[in-house]
A = this chain, B = another copy of it.
Amino acid sequence: MTSEASRRTPTLEDVAKAAGVSRATVSRVVNGITSVDPRIRTVVTQAIEATGYIPNAAARTLVNRRSGTVALVISGSDGSADQIFRDPFFGRIAGGVVRHLRSGGMHPTLMLADSDQARRDAVDFVRRGNADGALLVSTHAGDLLPRLFVDAGIPAVLFARPAVPVPISFVDLDHEAGAALAADRLADLGCRRVVTIAGPADLPAANDRLSGFQRAMERRGVPYVDVVRGNFTAESGEQAMAELLDAVPDADGVFAANDLMAVGALRVLHERGRSVPGDVALIGFDDSEPALMARPRLTTVAQPVEDMAARMTAILLDQLGTPATKLTSVVFTPELIIRESA
């Protein structure tokens, strides 16, 4: 091996020379094409070993038009960068995506779309061929991110139903059913003065949880439910609970649209001398870490985020495999996790 060859990273050509065969044959061996004489295969394999050859991804991508990468785009309202990544939701999604992608030797490229510019950049990133498709996690309503990808003709799958109608595949949770689970539990427990802390009005998921809860409660004979909206943070949960308690001092059941707000509510309940679940039954949503960490441990509606993320990934990979673009949407069924708070 010349000193020149040893300073460059070896190419197919180098391996071919070392093995005394053509570039094409080495390519066949590398890609596992079976129509290669076993003896030649052995020689080539040894040459690959000896030269320390490793295929160049860019060259492959250039001819195959496949990058083996998907973009994982986290869309948030403008300037919410840090906020988003601190949300345990993000980690769970990332986990599900990575785990599923790995099995196919692929990896996600993380992109934050928290401004119009960033959203356009994300689209361009894929258009340039850096990724074969996109996984979109949209956390706010009126988000034009899904639209941008659809218009660009990029294979993409959304986490959560799009806030505005867009022809795109997605995975979602049956939020209404989840909220109904909570309502039924509260009703079973004999709660009659029930209140709820809802999420932001511009989020479809939040509205579904609210309407699902109200409807189920009505079915169970509780036609009117006081509601105050929060923004999914513990602080907003505290404030909402305080307002609710002022309005309905004898409340005996609370449904919070997510665990964080439930934790906030729990604090206020304690401060105001209510025992949980003794005086007031409390149910959260998500089954996140805080639900488990709270005392009493929170009864909550579980959302299989990792599985949903994995499924979202599966749908995308499927679309990448078959260019025939048929839309798929999968709605997951929530589950009530009964712990101590209700």
Which residues on A are within 8 Å of B, measured CB to CB? Answer: 9, 54-59, 61-62, 67-69, 72, 81-82, 84-88, 90-92, 94-95, 98-99, 102, 105, 107-112, 118, 121, 124-125, 127-130, 234, 263, 267, 270, 289-290, 293, 295, 306
Q: Which residues of B contact A270 (CB under 8 A)?
A: 295
Of the listed residues A58, A86, A92, the one surrounded by the most CB atoms of chain B closer than 10 A to its CB is A58
Which of B90, B102, B111, B234 is the one whose CB lies under 8 Å from A107? B111
Q: In the complex this chain forms, how many copies of it are found? A: 2
* 5 chain-A/chain-B pairs, Cβ below 8 angstroms: A58-B129, A81-B99, A82-B95, A270-B295, A290-B293
Contacts of A54 in B (CB 8 A): 124, 127-128
Contacts of A105 in B (CB 8 A): 121
Please give the distance in Å from A94's CB to the nearest CB on chain B. Answer: 5
User: Given A94-B85, A95-B81, A112-B102, are A58 and B69 also a contact pair (CB < 8 Å)?
Assistant: no
Cβ-defined partner of A91 (8 Å) among B87, B111, B293: B87
Residues of chain B within 8 A (CB-CB) of A111 are: 98, 107
CB-CB under 8 A from A82, the residues of chain B are 95, 99, 306
Apart from A55-B128, A86-B91, A86-B95, 17 more pairs, CB < 8 Å: A54-B128, A56-B128, A57-B67, A57-B130, A58-B59, A58-B129, A68-B130, A69-B109, A81-B95, A81-B99, A84-B95, A86-B289, A90-B94, A98-B111, A102-B118, A107-B111, A234-B293
